[in-house]
Structure 1
């Protein structure tokens, strides 16, 4: 077999994997779904179009929740209801 030797010891490799995980802290966030279509010029900060109808219609989603994604991160964070209506 021509498998390369590890460059780090097992403990160092384990700590490198642990550093890639989300922190063990939860932030209180609000769903970032602002209706049928997000537009940066309207203050949503993100440009997108919903693939399906959401329960809140064209208004902003009122759901609040706790997540491991910090507020300064660039990802769009949906509540479970909005996420399921987009994905499922």
Structure 2
């Protein structure tokens, strides 16, 4: 009789443990599904980030060339102004001598 009660108690404990394991398994499955979804989202984000990086590199290269061209134009303009200024100074000296 005592063995029967003990056996029933052990059966009950075993059933409760199995029920608990099933609940834990279900929760882990849900967590696993969430991680799978997160992995998919991260893969999409990585792909988009890679595309953005490519576009940024292209823009930087394109703008770098344009800035170099602008600086070259500025330098040429400055050199031309310096030449004009020196010619004006020469003429200015001649005009001042004639006035005096």
TM-score (ref. length: structure 1): 0.23
More strand by share: 1
Higher-Rg structure is: 2
More helix by share: 2
TM-score (ref. length: structure 2): 0.21
